[in-house]
């Protein structure tokens, strides 16, 4: 659906996109994940035809975003950033107006209901809350019944419940066959929604993988935490071949080991008639994978 080859873009001396290549397949939710200033927005603006690349090639369903702009706008839905509508335009008016731009628009009333904006149909844009503006921008991105939708910072500024509702909505849009590109800062969003992810850092693609594939790459084994029911000899435990370290966090014992560590530790405890209370086993998360790949944390703004 989307091909990007060796994209470069600079603003004056500042290199925003150094070398980005990726391809987005039909029907998937493709995530672009990276810290502030990584070049995510610049990359999607080149895909949308809003910016001209300095070098490299971009195609959306075979169309050149700059040369074939008219055709592209009929198949591509773009979530514009807040503040792009006249303050006094009402929600229903905006949706009706935008739907009139497209040859085969979606039912804008259905979208308005689906996004929880029906009660605000007659409210002026300037009177909406941040979350409502955000939902309206999603509705406007989808009103043309696009084949590809690009959503930049989809849920930034939404409260946790509205964020979850939006995720359900996006999953529903994908179920109708729309391919989605999602620019995000949120690990949980990436993990919940995306089929594949491009991790971008300092203008380059660090890797492209599924969320599960990314976490599997940094799996360092298991970390086991529990409170022993009675005295436990840390040194003996540390001698088990599958255990690499035993430390204490207050009354909890913390054990790092390979993927067999849990079996080895539970067998050891059973032999010594010790019960593991409040037992927890942790695996690597997508956040860990991101840190391992880029050396940076993702700080949501």
Ligand X SMILES: Nc1ncnc2c1ncn2[C@@H]1O[C@H](COP(=O)(O)OP(=O)(O)OP(=O)(O)O)[C@@H](O)[C@H]1O
Instruction: For residue 122, state whether it binds ligand X (rule: CB under 6 A).
Output: no
State how far the Cα of 138 lies from the Cα of 125, in Å rounded to an integer: 14
Query: CB 173 → ligand X: shortest distance, Å?
Result: 22
Q: In sequence order, what are the residues at sequence separation of 6 or more whose Cβ sits closer than 8 angstroms to the Cβ of residue 267?
A: none
Using the minimum distance from each CB to ligand X, give the nearer residue, 4 or 111: 4
Using CB under 6 A as the binding rule, whether residue 37 contacts ligand X is answered as yes
Question: Considering the complex, what minimum distance in angstroms separates the CB of residue 86 from ligand X?
Answer: 24
Nearer to ligand X, 15 or 92 (CB): 15
Pairing relation of β-strands 252-257 and 222-228? Answer: antiparallel
Tell how strand 179-184 and strand 29-33 pair up. parallel
Q: Quote the CA–CA distance of 118 and 157 in Å, as a whole number.
A: 20
Q: How far does Cα 106 stand from its chain's mean position? A: 25
Backbone angles phi, psi at 93, to 5 degrees: -65, -45
Counting residues that bind ligand X (by CB under 6 A) gives: 11
Structure tokens at 287: 């956040």
Query: By C-beta, is 42 or 134 nearer to ligand X?
Result: 42
The window from 10-18, 70-78, 188-196, 253-261 that contacts ligand X (CB under 6 A) reads 10-18
Of 46 and 274, nearer to ligand X (C-beta) is 46
User: By CB under 6 A, is residue 86 in contact with ligand X?
Assistant: no
Which range touches ligand X (CB under 6 A), out of 30-38, 60-68, 206-214, 217-225? 30-38
Sign of the CA dihedral with 85 first, then 86, 91, and 95 last: negative
Residue at token pair 């040859």: 103
Residue 9 CB, nearest approach to ligand X (Å): 8
The single residue among 1, 20, 33, 40 that binds ligand X, judged by CB under 6 A, is 40
In angstroms, give the least distance from the CB of 31 to ligand X: 13
Q: Which two tokens stand for residue 26?
A: 């039909």
Residue 37's contacts (CB-CB under 8 Å, 6 or more residues apart) are none
51 binds ligand X (CB under 6 A): no
Q: Report the residue from 2, 4, 42, 151 that binds ligand X according to the rule CB under 6 A.
A: 42
184 in contact with ligand X (CB under 6 A)? no
With vertex at residue 189, the alpha carbon angle to CA 177 and CA 161, rounded to the nearest 5 degrees, is: 100
Angle, CA 135 vertex, CA 137 and CA 104 arms, to 5°: 55
**Angle between helix 130-142 and helix 91-99 axes, rounded to 10 deg:** 20
Interface with ligand X, residue 213, by CB under 6 A: no
User: For residue 127, what are its two tokens?
Assistant: 């009177």
- Is the CB of 154 or the CB of 265 nearer to ligand X? 154
Q: Could you tell me which stretch among 8-16, 86-94, 106-114, 237-245 binds ligand X (CB under 6 A)? A: 8-16
Nearer to ligand X among residue 44 and residue 274 (C-beta):
44
Is residue 38 involved in binding ligand X (CB under 6 A)? Answer: yes
Of 40 and 163, nearer to ligand X (C-beta) is 40
300 binds ligand X (CB under 6 A): no
Task: Give the residue carrying structure tokens 């690990």.
Answer: 187
Q: Looking at beta carbons only, is 120 or 185 nearer to ligand X? A: 185
Dihedral of the CA atoms 203, 204, 210, 214 (nearest 10)? -100
Contact residues for ligand X, defined by CB under 6 A:
11, 14, 16, 34, 36-42
């Amino acid at each position: 659906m989307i091909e990007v080859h060796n994209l470069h873009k600079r603003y004056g001396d500042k290199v925003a996109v150094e070398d980005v290549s990726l391809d987005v397949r039909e029907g998937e939710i493709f995530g672009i994940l990276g810290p502030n200033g990584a070049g995510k927005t610049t990359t999607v603006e080149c895909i949308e035809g809003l910016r001209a690349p300095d070098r490299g090639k971009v195609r959306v369903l075979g169309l050149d975003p700059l040369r074939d702009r008219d055709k592209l706008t009929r198949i591509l839905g773009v979530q514009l950033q807040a503040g792009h509508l006249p303050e006094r335009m009402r929600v229903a008016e905006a949706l009706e107006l935008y739907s009139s731009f497209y040859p085969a628009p979606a039912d804008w009333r259905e979208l308005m209901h689906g996004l929880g904006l029906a009660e605000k149909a007659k409210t002026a844009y300037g009177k909406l809350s941040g979350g409502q503006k955000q939902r309206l921008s999603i509705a406007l991105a989808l009103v043309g019944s696009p084949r590809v939708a690009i959503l930049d910072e989809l849920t930034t500024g939404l409260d946790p419940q509205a964020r979850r509702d939006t995720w359900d909505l996006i999953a529903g849009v994908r179920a109708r066959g729309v391919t989605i590109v999602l620019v995000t800062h949120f690990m949980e969003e990436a993990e919940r929604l995306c089929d594949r992810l491009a991790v971008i850092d300092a203008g380059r693609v660090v890797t492209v993988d599924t969320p599960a594939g990314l976490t599997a790459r940094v799996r360092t084994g298991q970390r086991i935490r529990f409170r022993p029911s009675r005295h436990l000899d840390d040194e003996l435990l540390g001698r088990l071949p599958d255990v690499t370290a035993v430390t204490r966090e207050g009354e909890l014992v913390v054990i790092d080991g390979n993927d067999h560590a849990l079996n080895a530790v539970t067998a050891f405890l059973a032999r010594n008639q010790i019960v593991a209370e409040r037992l927890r086993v942790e695996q690597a998360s997508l956040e860990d994978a991101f840190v391992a790949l880029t050396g940076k944390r993702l700080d949501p703004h």
